[in-house]
Amino acid sequence: MDVPVEQALPHRPHAGRPMTARGRSAVPVAIGVLLVGIFALDLFFPLGVAAGVPYVSVALLALWLESRRIRLGVVLLACVLTVTGFFLPIPPRGETFWIGLENRVIALFAIGVTAYLGHLLLKRSSEVREREARLRAVLESAPDAILTVDRNGFVESCNPAAGAMFGRRCESLVEMPIDRLLPEFPGDVKASSRCRALTGRRLDGSEFPAEVSLGRFPRDAELRSIDYAVIVRDVTLLRDAQQRTLRSERLAAVGETLAVLSHEARNELLALRMGLTVLAESADRLDADSADLIDELQTSQRRLSRLFEDVRQHAGPIRLNPTPCRLSDVWRRAWKACDRSDRGAELVEFPLPGGEPPTCTADVFRLEQVFRNLFENALAACPDPVRIEVRTEPYGSPDDPALRICVQDNGPGLSPEARRKAFEPFFTTKSDGTGLGLAICSRILEAHGGELTLLESGGQGACFELLLPRSGASRSGVLRELAEA
């Protein structure tokens, strides 16, 4: 929301504020009229002690002229007319001459001092305006919200970033209680405080974590009222980054532990599998209970091996081997590899408009792993007949192309809790699942610069959306736009 700073920060009048164009054009005329009038008055009606002093008004009026040379010329002309008015038409004689001359010298001194002080005032005003312009430029470009709050807790002014952060127009923030924006704002700020962790509230009622710097400054020495300077920084992205970093550190620790554990357990699992295989081959000489026990042990061994493999893939880094591929071939191989064992299951494909093949640059093995996981989840959740639809459509701009693939089944869908925890590690709704499948799939898509999300399907099964850059870039601009939307 781009709002000019002038609309949010109130202007306070100060000395030397520039006139309008119409006012500036009238200043030379006024100076000329005053010079002629004062000179004529001095000729026909001697001003005595006050002689020459009216020219001070001309020096003051000249301060509104933009050119420094013209201002100096007006002051010099006023001085010349002051001296000329003394000698015309007939200069006085005797003691009156010296008194009049003294008065003219005083008038020249007054004109000179006025012109000099006026020049200093203009210079100081120009510096103030320049500093104010720089300050406004800083406020306008600052990414953090900057607000001033009076002693009663009402917002006095703000910058455009404040409007964008709180989802309001800057004008609507002015005169609003600060506790509507920062519910935890302290009632009494006795000293400056940096980086207080507070909660911000937007127009739609949503809240976000914020770091708030508070300070106070005197607004009026006589009234002794206090204004607060409040700088608000939205730390949502920072918190997310910290959580991702913490999660990565934990996963790294899990990976190191798992590497040692899997190395030691692999030999034991191999020996167990070989022993069970030998026993299974001689099952015809065992009773039925022993054969069932061997079968259960083999199932447990396979489940334990799968758990080790899933945890290893989830905790370890994902390394890609991207190559040009056709996605339809990838998901068909994944569908063929799924165990459908006499089930009425159908895969329905909806190609790209115009029949264009869905091609991209990606790791074929990893994408096949993603599609196989989605298909197996659908087969486990859906009653017969199973119908799984794969829709593909282009996404993004010609400069940043991507593909949007939707995988939807005709099952009962997911409960609100399952939707919320779908991508959390070790969460599963299957009795024999590890809860790492979707988490691994999400990491695979992120490694490709894409994204895996669970869409609202209106109760018509589960619908997963895959966004995949065609170029294989690490992070697509299309997906950044999606995340910011």
**Which whole number is the average pLDDT over 92-115?**
76
Q: Quote the tokens at residue 472.
A: 């294989």
More confident residue, 351 or 425: 351
Statement: residue 259 has pLDDT above 80 = no
More confident residue, 301 or 384: 384
More confident residue, 211 or 432: 211
- What is residue 465's predicted lDDT score, i.e. its pLDDT? 93
Instruction: Report the C-alpha gap between 267 and 74 in whole angstroms.
Output: 103
- What is residue 347's predicted lDDT score, i.e. its pLDDT? 92
Return the closest-CA partner of residue 202 out of 164, 148, 155. Answer: 164
What is the per-residue pLDDT across 213-225, written as a single tens digit (0 to 9) for each? 887 776 555 444 5
pTM, 2 dp: 0.44
Instruction: Assess contact for 252 and 171: CB atoms under 8 A.
Output: no
Q: What is the mean pLDDT of the chain?
A: 77
Statement: residue 413 has pLDDT above 60 = yes
Return the ∠ at Cα 93 (arms to 88 and 95), rounded to 5°. 125
- What is residue 303's predicted lDDT score, i.e. its pLDDT? 65
Residue 404: pLDDT band with limits 50, 70, 90: very high
Q: Quote the tokens at residue 168.
A: 């309001």
Residue 329: pLDDT band with limits 50, 70, 90: very high
Statement: residue 345 has pLDDT above 60 = yes
Which whole-number Å values give the CA distances from 58 to 67, 88, 115, 483, in the listed order?
15, 21, 10, 64
**Which whole number is the average pLDDT over 33-62?**
73
Our measurement of the distance from residue 88's CA atom to the centroid of its chain's CA atoms, rounded to an integer in Å, reads: 74
**Which whole number is the average pLDDT over 334-346?**
83
Least confident of 17-21, 29-33, 396-400: 17-21
- What is residue 328's predicted lDDT score, i.e. its pLDDT? 92
Least confident of 146-155, 179-188, 280-289, 422-431: 280-289
**Which whole number is the average pLDDT over 140-155?**
85
Statement: residue 143 has pLDDT above 60 = yes
Q: What percent of the chain has pLDDT over 70?
A: 72
Q: Quote the tokens at residue 341.
A: 């064992």
Statement: residue 59 has pLDDT above 90 = no
Statement: residue 48 has pLDDT above 60 = no
Q: Tokens 């000293």 belong to which residue?
A: 191
Return the ∠ at Cα 406 (arms to 405 and 408), rounded to 5°. 155
Q: What is the CA radius of gyration of the chain?
A: 41
- What is residue 188's predicted lDDT score, i.e. its pLDDT? 59
Least confident of 160-169, 439-448, 472-481: 472-481
Angle between helices 95-141 and 68-87 (to 10 degrees): 170
Statement: residue 331 has pLDDT above 90 = yes
Burial letters 117-143, b for 16+ CB under 10 A, else e: ebeeebeebeeeeeeeeeebeebbeee
